[in-house]
Amino acid sequence: MAYTFLLFSFLAAGVQTAKNQPITEPARASAARDSLLRATAATRLEATQRTGFVLTTSRLGKRKHVVRGFQNVANPQNLPENRLKKNLIWKQKTIYRRNGQVLETYVAQLGNRKVLQETRLNDNTLWIKLSQPINLADTAPNTEVVEYEYVRGGYFTWRGQQYAQPKQ
């Protein structure tokens, strides 16, 4: 009895994993990857264009640069009427390593929720996590959160499907 149950559970697990295997067709995977990168670039552009920024550097700015983008909020309740509060919208940290590599991290947030996280090494994308495209004109946050993710090596999720970029 236990043997039959164990065999049935292995067969059921095999069917489940076959259904959730990543799509490896080159044309579909490339199109989905390009769509993800395009949505990431549009979100980053939207966040950067509508905000002012402040650059901070440590030790005369030789190795680490941090740029923060702020959006002014008029008259919050805890400040006098003539002052503005700055809400952090995005942050980009660039680190120049001794071996010549450049590590760049970018985080965009709307409210207190991160909508875009991106890591690059020498302008090659290592990791992206996009929760939703950003729209700063939207005052009501979107309750439905769809996450898209990209990992170096060509593995990513787009619109609920898993993709694997074929190796060349």
What pLDDT is stored for residue 8 in this prediction? 43
What pLDDT is stored for residue 37 in this prediction? 87
CA–CA gap between residue 104 and residue 82 (Å, rounded): 37
pTM of the model: 0.73
Q: Tell me: pLDDT of 115 over 60.
A: yes
Contact 127, 157 (CB under 8 A): no
Task: Please name the residue that has the structure tokens 């309740």.
Answer: 77
User: Residues 67-92: what's their mean pLDDT?
Assistant: 76
Note the helical H segments in the chain.
Answer: 2-19, 26-49
Q: Tell me: pLDDT of 47 over 80.
A: yes
Q: 152 falls in which pLDDT band (50, 70, 90)?
A: confident
For strand 113-121 and strand 161-164, is the pairing parallel, antiparallel, or unpaired? unpaired
Average predicted confidence (pLDDT) for the chain? 76
CA–CA gap between residue 10 and residue 29 (Å, rounded): 30
Q: Which of 2-6, 64-68, 128-132 holds the top average pLDDT?
A: 64-68
